[in-house]
Amino acid sequence: MRAAAFDIITDMKSLSRFLDYLDGLSAHELALKALYLVGACSAAAIIAASLMMHKIVSDIPSIDKLDEYTPSLATYVYDVNNQIIAEFSVEKRAILPLSKIPVDMQNAVIAMEDQNFFRHWGISPRGILRALLRDLLHRRSAQGGSTLTQQLSRGIFLKPEKTITRKVKEIFLALQIERNFSKPEILQMYLNQIYLGNGVYGVQSASKLYFGKDVTEMTLPECALLAGVIPSPERFSPFNNPEKAKQRRQLVLQRMLAEKYITSEEVAEALKVPIPDSKSTLFSSHGAYFVENVRQQLEPKYGIDQLWKGGLKIYTTLDLSMQVPAEEAMEKYLSKYDQDAARLKTPGLPDVPVVSSVALQGAFVILDVKTGAVRAMVGGRNYRDSKFNRVTQAARQAGSTFKPMVWMAALQNGYNPATIIQDSPMAYYYDGKDWRLLEGATDQYSINLAIQPFAGNKDFKIWVPNDFDNKFLGGITLRRALELSRNLASIYLVTRVGPTQVVDVAHRAGVKRSLDAVPSIGLGTSLVSPLEMASAFATFGNGGIHTEPFSVLKVVDNQGKVLQEYVPDETESFSPQLSYVLVNMMKGVVQRGTGVYASRLKRPLAGKTGTTQDSKDMWFIGMTPDLAAAAWMGYDDFITINSKDWTGSSTIVPWWTEVMETVLKDQPVRDFSVPDGITFATIDPETGKLVLPTCKKRLLEAFVKDTEPKEFCDAAH
């Protein structure tokens, strides 16, 4: 306490001496001293302000590379008819030259945001002072009073914070931009950069979002509406607040009238136009599985940044006129099946419905037979619920749709459509290394007798294949066995040509997966995808030439440079003669066999139905000379499809047919072309022999030249 009192007394003495000193000065000396003091304070203030300004200015980014500035651009995905089906983007944005942006759009923005744009040098001192006064009165951070150039500098270089420091940086940047770029260049950058709500940047992307059209097609009322949302895109959005959007549009039109950009008559007409009430459907919601498949192909090649921010244009093979009906028909039929299945009861348990824990799923794919182009791809019922693409990623048993691979192997080994094969009982045993035919077991009695000694032996495995109807047709032509989808006839052929050759045929046709070379391959027990099966059928329909399926025609960067373009990938897998003979037999499946429902399309079709063991999968794959389409249905958890349709003829074929009825309605009716080296002969469809005039049944059959039958049928047949 004493020390503190002493300090105070000392300070008071010093002050007293200072006052005595001042009293001793003349008026002139006193004024001079005051002037020195003010000067020193002013100098200190100037130095402090200069240091602060230097700190602010030194932190301003360089605009040297503004002319090379590339914002995040949306990548657009187009179908084969150049319709936009999707986009990959972080920010939805497209860059256009000023010449492509309507003059009304340019004038609307200038009238509303910066009336003196072409007269000022980057900033508006009056606007800045007005904004500062308003901010001081409302005790808020600096805002408003910005020219288009200031807004551009802020949008590209600065953070969205509202501070005096940022405002100073904004002014300095604007001055630099004005010094280095022309007014049209600045306006072009602004119109391509400005945020316009709903994640879109620039007037091109905004035009597509709000009006579903290219910016070059925008009308005066649309330009005014778009300019009106700039200050607060979410608040003034016509989707969020239609009344405020109308008011903003009217204000823009009035400003344009005041600036003499438009006439009062144009204002009156523009005000009559209704504003949009929902976002444009220009960006199709169709083809989600296809688009994801394209992304998986291109993202590893170009990288995430270039794909999602580089403004690429991806031209694909998809045809929306095929994709949309495929999606709609699949959902229609599977929904109906779900409803029907819920009403079915388990035998013996009448009160317990047979319902899977998951919804019935499906897949549909259409390929161009000649090129392998994917025209439609439906990988499931709802992409939002399940991203799993059942067209490309599913591994399911093909069932009887695999039989054409067996039949091609038979044709390669000298069989022809009139060859008699056996649809008779048979049994196989496993010797520890391979499955072998149980010789002599040609009826159920002999099979039971042969396996009786091994009953209960866990090391002795027996396989007794059968048909869905548990019947045996005995001797039957190769054609008829395919038309009726006879399992035992297929196993008969596999036994004679060897399962290894069947695997080879499948791989050459287009199946990529590893297949088990076992007798049951004739029943389609190996796992395949719908895309592989459609590709294999297309190989047969293309005269034996396999074309690798593809989805991307061309990729172009934002400067118009072609980065990649489709190059055909073709392989001659089978002779055109054998391929035609096989396809001609497959036409019988639609004309007289299990796929007869599809014959209502009244055009040449080749196809094959298929179901798997315990009806866990149903298939139909059909083709014209131009298109191959595969339909699959089943449960993801592999539960049995509760149906009495053992071949798929009344379940999946109608669905396939409805899709293709729409797809093919405008396509010419063409038959599969007949290659050289093919001979036609009229045969008895039951015996496979040449007919006499007195024979009752007859069928015109195709053969590789010199393989046609030589015997005539019994006249009484």
461-502 per-position pLDDT tens digit: 777 777 777 788 889 999 999 999 999 999 999 999 999 999
Mean pLDDT (the chain) is: 83
Average pLDDT in the 391-398 region?
A: 94
Centroid of chain to Cα 256: 42
Express each pLDDT in 489-542 by its tens digit: 999 999 999 999 999 999 999 999 999 999 889 999 999 999 999 999 999 999
Measured CA to CA, the distance from residue 360 to residue 354 in angstroms comes to: 12
CA distances from 313 to 71, 203, 316, 373, 401 (A): 16, 18, 10, 18, 38
Encode pLDDT of 672-695 as tens digits: 999 999 999 999 999 999 998 888
Q: What are residue 225's phi and psi, to 5 degrees?
A: -65, -45
Interatomic CA distance for residues 270 and 49, integer angstroms: 52
The per-residue pLDDT for 438 is: 67
Average pLDDT over residues 36-44: 61
**d(C-alpha 135, C-alpha 128), whole Å:** 10
> Which positions are catalytic?
113, 400
Residues 264-319 have pLDDT tens digits of 999 999 999 999 988 775 555 789 999 999 999 999 999 988 988 888 999 999 99
pLDDT of residue 516: 92
Identity at 238, one-letter amino acid code: P
Residues 520 and 523: their CA atoms lie apart, in Å, by: 5
CA distance 686 to 697: 8
Separation of alpha carbons 24 and 66, rounded Å: 65
Q: Which residues pair with 629 in a beta bridge?
A: 366, 622
Q: Give pLDDT, residue 172.
A: 72
pTM of the entire predicted model: 0.75
Tell me if the domain spanning 91-272 has CATH number 1.10.3810.10: yes
Cα–Cα dist 407/497, whole Å: 10
Q: Take residue 494 and report the two structure tokens written for it.
A: 């596999």
CATH number of 366-664: 3.30.559.10, 3.40.710.10, 3.50.50.60, 3.10.580.10?
Answer: 3.40.710.10
Q: Where are the domains of the chain?
A: 2-58, 91-272, 366-664, 676-717
The pLDDT confidence band at residue 653, using thresholds 50, 70 and 90, is very high
**pLDDT greater than 50 at residue 8:** no
Whose CA is closest to 410, among 513, 505, 519, 525? Answer: 505
Q: Tens digit of pLDDT for each residue in 187-234?
A: 998 898 888 888 788 898 889 889 888 899 999 999 999 999 999 999
Q: Is the pLDDT of residue 702 over 90?
A: yes
